[in-house]
Amino acid sequence: MEAVHRPPAAPPLSRTAVHVLLAIGPEERHGYAIMAEVARITDGAIRLGPGAIYTTIRRLLDDGLIEESDERPDPELDDQRRRYYRLTVLGRTVAAAEVRRFETLVQASRRWVLEVPPT
Amino acid sequence: MTPPASHERVYRALLRLYPGPFRARFRDELVQLFGDVMRDARDGRGGRGGTGGIWLRILADIALTAPAEHLDARRVAHSLTRPASAVMKTLGLLGIVGGLLLLSVWLPVLSIVPEKFNLGRLVLFNAGAMAIAAAILRWGAGAEWGRFQRSVAALAMAANGWYLVMVVLSADRPVYPVPDPEFREIFNWAGVAMWWADGALGLALLGSRSRARWGALALAVGSVGAFSGMGYLGLIDGELGWLFLPASQVGIALNGLGWILLGIAVTTRRRAIAPTSVAPRAS
């Protein structure tokens, strides 16, 4: 079935969308794994709820940045009803662009940020 | 302690706050993820506050994401449609003007304007009704209004056209005060056909999903009221004249309001973009 393709949201993506993209990374992950990975890579600072996870997944799917994987887990290891998501080529490109944008920001502000004593 | 199934039932009910298509697509996954989150809370891995804290986070999550999803769904739907065509806007505007002119019967100034003006007013009213009927005919197959509605619209167009012709012919004929019985009989039948066809069109469009249904309701009710005021029925001159005279006047006003609302629906209704202009997904 043909899906409606909208151009990806103009960069920068929303913070939640970036977190979800980076949480999926090179893996195939389901909603719970994405939520856990977001919490892990943000050191627990960001805990997304089911609504935030799936409204973001819906937008990323519609924008063509992620896709649903056809693979299903071994029924002995995981619930077969779970759907797994992975980055598309476009999604990897956008995620990489976001990370480079962060790097530029960090490099540009590193000198004065390091002079500020930690709180 | 509340059983897990109760939590899930409440969460399922709350999912109704999301748009239907989103729910249909992700309901099972959302419920499953909610179950995972609650399981973590029971196992002491869900952060502060236990299940109570989780519920607060879940409620905040829904409160923030459900309205945004509704807005996004509306924006996407809007981007996949175009405004009504110039032809439809013109037909709708004619209907609005016709309805306003019919409503103007309530203006006291009409009693002092020349009879020719009133004839012109009726001609434009009929032209407006015919324009709305034409717009419904033009709506196209597969649209909200199907073959039945379009058939009734064709009937209403013919009936209003007939009445329009009779109004034009009456300009040079002694209908009132010196009656021309034969002409007046035909004129009456044109009136009967017009009010009944307008009422039938209102009934046929009652099932519309759009705002047109309010116009349809006004048209259906108004046409019956207006019909009861026709002179040859003798209802407004009879014992119940106190009832039928105001009923017919309200009916005429409602009929005019119906055409106005239908005109607004026609001019503002967005049309779908042809599927060929939507590119397939790239991934």
Is B113 among the domain residues?
Answer: yes
> Given this model, what pLDDT does residue B109 score?
60
Clarify whether residues B18 and B40 are in a common domain.
Answer: yes
Q: How confident is the model at residue B248 (pLDDT cuts 50, 70, 90)?
A: confident
Share of chain B above pLDDT 90, in %: 40
Clarify whether residues B70 and B131 are in a common domain.
Answer: no
> Given this model, what pLDDT does residue B176 score?
58
Nearest CB neighbour to A81, from listed B28, B36, B64: B28
Nearest CB neighbour to A58, from listed B25, B60, B62: B25
Is B167 among the domain residues?
Answer: yes
- CA B185 – CA B137 distance, rounded (Å): 30
> Given this model, what pLDDT does residue A40 score?
94
Residues in contact with B210: Cβ distance below 8 Å, sequence separation at least 6, in sequence order: B144, B265, B269
> Looking at residues A3-32, what average pLDDT do you find?
79
* Amino acid, single-letter form, for residue B105: V
Question: What's the pTM?
Answer: 0.54
| Contact assessment for residue B124 and residue B97, using Cβ atoms and an 8 Å cutoff | yes
Contact B30 A67 (CB under 8 A): no
List, as own/partner pairs, every contact residues A15-19 make where C-beta atoms lie below 8 angstroms and the sequence separation is at least 24, other chains included: A16/A48, A16/A52, A16/A56, A17/A56, A17/A59, A17/A60, A17/A65, A18/A95, A18/A98, A19/A46, A19/A48
Residue where a domain terminates, one of B49, B79, B109: B79
Check whether domain A15-115 has CATH 1.20.810.10, yes or no: no
Residue A9 pLDDT > 50: no
Residue B240 pLDDT > 90: no
Clarify whether residues B232 and B185 are in a common domain.
Answer: yes
Dihedral sign of CA atoms B198, B200, B202, B204 in order: negative
> Given this model, what pLDDT does residue B108 score?
63
pLDDT digit string, tens, across residues B60-78: 999 999 999 998 877 766 6
Please tell me the least confidently modeled range out of A10-14, A63-67, B38-42, B176-180.
B176-180
Contact B283 A82 (CB under 8 A): no
Nearest CB neighbour to B281, from listed A64, A81, A83: A64
Residues in contact with B163: Cβ distance below 8 Å, sequence separation at least 6, in sequence order: B122, B126, B190, B191, B193, B194
> Looking at residues B143-153, what average pLDDT do you find?
81
Clarify whether residues B27 and B101 are in a common domain.
Answer: no
Q: Rounded to 5 degrees, what are φ and ψ at B229?
A: -90, 5
Q: In terms of pLDDT, which residue wins out, B119 or B125?
A: B125
Contact B278 A3 (CB under 8 A): no
Q: How confident is the model at residue A90 (pLDDT cuts 50, 70, 90)?
A: very high
| Contact assessment for residue B58 and residue A50, using Cβ atoms and an 8 Å cutoff | yes
pLDDT digit string, tens, across residues B172-190: 776 555 567 788 888 889 9
Structural domain boundaries, residue B96: 84-268
Clarify whether residues B63 and B95 are in a common domain.
Answer: no
Q: How confident is the model at residue B32 (pLDDT cuts 50, 70, 90)?
A: very high
Is B276 among the domain residues?
Answer: no
Q: How confident is the model at residue A50 (pLDDT cuts 50, 70, 90)?
A: very high
Contact A90 B28 (CB under 8 A): no
> Given this model, what pLDDT does residue B235 score?
67
> Given this model, what pLDDT does residue B141 score?
44
Residue where a domain terminates, one of B13, B45, B79: B79
Is B103 among the domain residues?
Answer: yes
Reported ipTM: the value is 0.82
Clarify whether residues B68 and B159 are in a common domain.
Answer: no
Share of chain B above pLDDT 70, in %: 77
> Looking at residues B93-110, what average pLDDT do you find?
81
A58–chain B Cβ distance below 8 A for any pair: yes
Is B28 among the domain residues?
Answer: yes
Is B233 among the domain residues?
Answer: yes
Instruction: Give CA separation, B166 vs B65, B128, B133, in Å.
Output: 60, 16, 19
Clarify whether residues B124 and B253 are in a common domain.
Answer: yes
Clarify whether residues B75 and B90 are in a common domain.
Answer: no
What letters, b where the CB count within 10 A reaches 16 and e where it falls short, cover B245-260? eebbbbbbbbbbbbbb
Residue where a domain terminates, one of B79, B102, B136: B79
Clarify whether residues B115 and B180 are in a common domain.
Answer: yes
**Average pLDDT value for chain B:** 82
H-only helix segments in B15-114: 20-42, 50-79, 86-103
Clarify whether residues B38 and B144 are in a common domain.
Answer: no
The residue with tokens 């960090």 is: A106
A14–chain B Cβ distance below 8 A for any pair: no
Is B156 among the domain residues?
Answer: yes
3-state secondary structure chain A: CCCCCCCCCCCCCCHHHHHHHHHHCCCCECHHHHHHHHHHHCCCCCCCCHHHHHHHHHHHHHCCCEEECCCCCCCCCCCCCCCCEEECHHHHHHHHHHHHHHHHHHHHHHHHHHHCCCC
> Given this model, what pLDDT does residue B244 score?
73
Q: In terms of pLDDT, which residue wins out, A99 or B82?
A: A99
Contact A81 B58 (CB under 8 A): no
Clarify whether residues B66 and B117 are in a common domain.
Answer: no
Residue B163 pLDDT > 60: yes
Instruction: Give CA separation, B108 vs B49, B100, B242, in Å.
Output: 71, 15, 20
| Contact assessment for residue B257 and residue B222, using Cβ atoms and an 8 Å cutoff | yes
| Contact assessment for residue B195 and residue B223, using Cβ atoms and an 8 Å cutoff | yes
Instruction: Give CA separation, B260 vs A84, A90, B33, B99, B204, in Å.
Output: 52, 49, 50, 5, 17
Is B263 among the domain residues?
Answer: yes
Q: Name the domain count of chain B.
A: 2
